[in-house]
Chains A and B, each alone.
Chain A
């Protein structure tokens, strides 16, 4: 019933080393997601990039520009969120399975079954819980700052620190919810509270190490992606010049940039997923033993 945070932190690298094909399978899932994203919403991305570029170039961005950007984002979230939730659940379950049941390696641990449905529910509840807790907390912080007096600024600052600390605490306490759900074959949202009792600091330390390693992986990926992006038309930012075109015309002109962005990001996202998610499954595997 003990685990080494520094050992568990490297589980993502071990998963990829044990079965390198997982990067291809998980990358393919991301590629599917990007294909659906751009297949449906490439004009929206072009619009976002064009408006963002206008705001970036302007010394004083207008409120209408910001509102326009917000509206486009809201519209995109409407169809991106369900897509992200489903694919996220499939991938999260796959990573947990790769650590907890390494023998079930067919199709890069990818399945579409009850585990995935349960993980989807857990992710949805966790998302709502964090959104609600953060929302309430930061509304309270905002109320302090609206007081307009130095004493309220001080209280607001202290409240903001408490809210951030509270969200971090909640994040650590619920960090094992997905691996426990996959392992026990039932929705085990709050079992994570009991499992993390007395192990808050090692888990927090592991999470910080894992976050930095994910960042390092993305930096190294950026070194590879940058020249490819420059050669194929500037990645997503390059879409701004196609603003106003309809979907077929846009895809005809921008497919090299979209394809390059999608392939590189798919592989990179698969690696980041392994580095970021697998350690929590490894922690649970050690703790349940």
Chain B
């Protein structure tokens, strides 16, 4: 476990997946986008005729409450489905980076022990970090309150220091924990200890990789958000919304069916590919870095011709 990894090579591994398996990238994004779209239609369909404005202020009828209870259950169900799909796609992106050039089926997507292990790892890391942050925030508030009694100025300074310290601790933890999931996939067992040990002494490089993936994500996010806003203005969706604000139900807020289908087409076609590419760029580099560190040398994908793909 004494190897090194290159940030450029790790990012390059994810880019190679996008370049050589664009259909798989599209399918990953499409799976998530389609599910989100169907979920939105189901949820919106069940509340579309709920009254808005003055009508909503009146005491809701018992049927509306019953419908809201059903919707709550349905929404939980959809959240669970989305979580399962997210784990499947997360695993697929890392598997693609690790197995690029080898024979593949179902666009690297499976529903097996790898996915179960990664689901558990994801939940453990998320819940563990969440609990640790809550405890630190509570302790910080209590310490701040004690110091506040002695000196308000010092308490203010201490508060700023503690917030910065918390952010630094979370970022450090993210870098240190970032190899646990890929190590779990590569080693085919829960690799909490191995992933943690592997990141020891490499926090700087892993932090660099994290920052690179965040920058790429933010760049794509801002460009897409800007394009969508321009599109919404250009197609008159915002104008329609402002005119429909006095609508009686949520359904009245919907734009014309043409604009709606246009939006669905954008989400499903370029949107899906973009979603898949972002997920690959966010998750794939850590798999490549982990593989390189476990191997002791940077990993190079096998040439497609050599493996018959």
Taking Cβ atoms with an 8 Å cutoff, the residues of A that contact B are 5-7, 9, 57, 150-151, 153-154, 157-158, 161, 205, 208-209, 212-213, 215-216, 219-220, 222-223, 226, 229-230, 237
Q: How many residues of B contact A (CB 8 A)?
A: 29
Residues of chain B contacted by A212 (CB below 8 angstroms): 120, 123-124, 127
Q: How far, in whole Å, are A212 and B190 apart by their CA atoms in the complex?
A: 13
Residues of chain B contacted by A223 (CB below 8 angstroms): 77, 80-81
24 A–B contacts from the bound complex (CB under 8 Å): A5-B190, A7-B189, A57-B65, A150-B146, A150-B148, A150-B149, A151-B146, A153-B142, A153-B145, A154-B139, A157-B142, A205-B192, A208-B124, A209-B120, A212-B124, A212-B127, A216-B116, A216-B120, A216-B123, A223-B80, A223-B81, A226-B73, A226-B77, A230-B70
A20 → B minimal CB distance (Å) = 18
Interface of B is mostly: helix
Contact partner of A215 among B70, B123, B189, CB < 8 A? Answer: B123
- Is B76 an interface position by the 8 A CB rule? yes
The answer to whether B73 and A230 have CB atoms under 8 Å apart is yes
The answer to whether A6 and B189 have CB atoms under 8 Å apart is yes
The answer to whether A209 and B81 have CB atoms under 8 Å apart is no
A26 → B minimal CB distance (Å) = 21
Q: How far, in whole Å, are A220 and B120 apart by their CA atoms in the complex?
A: 13
The answer to whether B80 and A219 have CB atoms under 8 Å apart is yes
Residues of chain B contacted by A205 (CB below 8 angstroms): 190, 192
Residues of chain B contacted by A161 (CB below 8 angstroms): 135
Given contacts A205-B192, A216-B119, contact A154 B76 (CB under 8 A): no
- Is B138 an interface position by the 8 A CB rule? yes
Q: Looking at A7, A215, A220, A223, which has the most chain B CB atoms within 10 Å of its CB?
A: A223
B205 → A minimal CB distance (Å) = 26
Chain A to chain B: the 5 pairs with minimum beta-carbon distance, closest first: A150-B145, A154-B142, A6-B190, A150-B146, A212-B120
Contact partner of A213 among B73, B83, B116, B146, CB < 8 A? Answer: B116
The answer to whether B146 and A154 have CB atoms under 8 Å apart is yes
Given contacts A150-B142, A153-B142, A216-B123, contact A222 B190 (CB under 8 A): no
- Is B38 an interface position by the 8 A CB rule? no
A23 → B minimal CB distance (Å) = 18
Residues of chain B contacted by A209 (CB below 8 angstroms): 120, 124, 190
